[in-house]
Chains A and B, each alone.
Chain A
Amino acid sequence: MNITVNGQARSVAPGSVTADIITNGSDDLWLLNGFAVDGATPLKEGDALLRVSRTEAPDEATYDAVWNARYGKTIYNKLKSSHIPICGAGGLGSHIAISLARLGIGELTIIDKDVVDITNLGRQAYEMTDLGKPKVVALKDILHRINPFIKVNAVHTTINSSNFDNYLKGFPYIIEAFDSAENKAELTSYVLTHYPATTLIGASGVSGYDHPNTVQTKELFSRYYQTGDGHSESTLGLLAPRVMLCAAHEATMLLHLLLTQKE
Chain B
Amino acid sequence: MIVNGKEQTLTESVTVSAFLETAGYNSKRVVVERNRIIIPQSEFESTWLLDSDTLEIVHFVGGG
User: Chain B: interface secondary structure?
Assistant: mixed
Q: How large is the interface on B (under 10, 10 to 19, 20 to 34, 35 or more residues)?
A: 20 to 34
Pairwise interchain contact B63-A233, C-beta atoms closer than 8 A: yes
Pairwise interchain contact B64-A185, C-beta atoms closer than 8 A: no
Pairwise interchain contact A91-B64, C-beta atoms closer than 8 A: yes
Which residue, B28, B60, B62, has most C-beta atoms of chain A within 10 A? B60
Q: Mark A232-257, 1 if CB is under 8 A from B, else 0.
A: 11100010000100100000000000
User: Chain A: interface secondary structure?
Assistant: mixed
Q: Mark B40-52, 1 if CB is under 8 A from A, else 0.
A: 1110000000000
Give the chain B neighbours of A180 by CB distance below 8 A: 62
CA distance A206 to B61 in the complex (A): 9
Complex interface residues of chain B between 17 and 64 (CB less than 8 A to chain A): 26, 28-31, 33, 36, 38-42, 56, 58-64
Pairwise interchain contact A232-B31, C-beta atoms closer than 8 A: no
Known: A182-B28, A220-B58. A232 touches B63 (CB 8 A): yes
Least CB distance from A113 to B in Å reads 14
Cβ-neighbour of B62 out of A93, A161, A181, A222 (below 8 A): A181
Q: How large is the interface on A (under 10, 10 to 19, 20 to 34, 35 or more residues)?
A: 35 or more
Known: A186-B28, A189-B31, A221-B31. A204 touches B41 (CB 8 A): no
Pairwise interchain contact A205-B63, C-beta atoms closer than 8 A: yes
Known: A220-B58, A221-B56. A188 touches B63 (CB 8 A): no
CA distance A238 to B58 in the complex (A): 21
Pairwise interchain contact B64-A188, C-beta atoms closer than 8 A: no
Give the chain A neighbours of B64 by CB distance below 8 A: 88, 90-93, 177-179, 184, 203, 206, 238, 243, 246
Give the chain B neighbours of A217 by CB distance below 8 A: none
Given known contacts A224-B31, A238-B63, what 4 new A-B pairs fall within 8 Å (CB)?
A184-B60, A207-B63, A226-B58, A246-B64
The 10 closest A-B pairs by CB, nearest first: A234-B63, A181-B60, A181-B29, A207-B63, A234-B62, A181-B62, A92-B64, A184-B60, A233-B61, A179-B64
Instruction: Show 11 A/B contacts (Cβ-Cβ < 8 Å), sorted by A.
Output: A91-B63, A91-B64, A178-B64, A185-B41, A193-B38, A206-B64, A221-B56, A221-B58, A226-B58, A233-B62, A243-B64
Which residues of A approach B to under 8 Å, CB–CB? 88, 90-93, 161, 177-182, 184-186, 188-190, 192-193, 203-207, 220-222, 224, 226, 230-234, 238, 243, 246
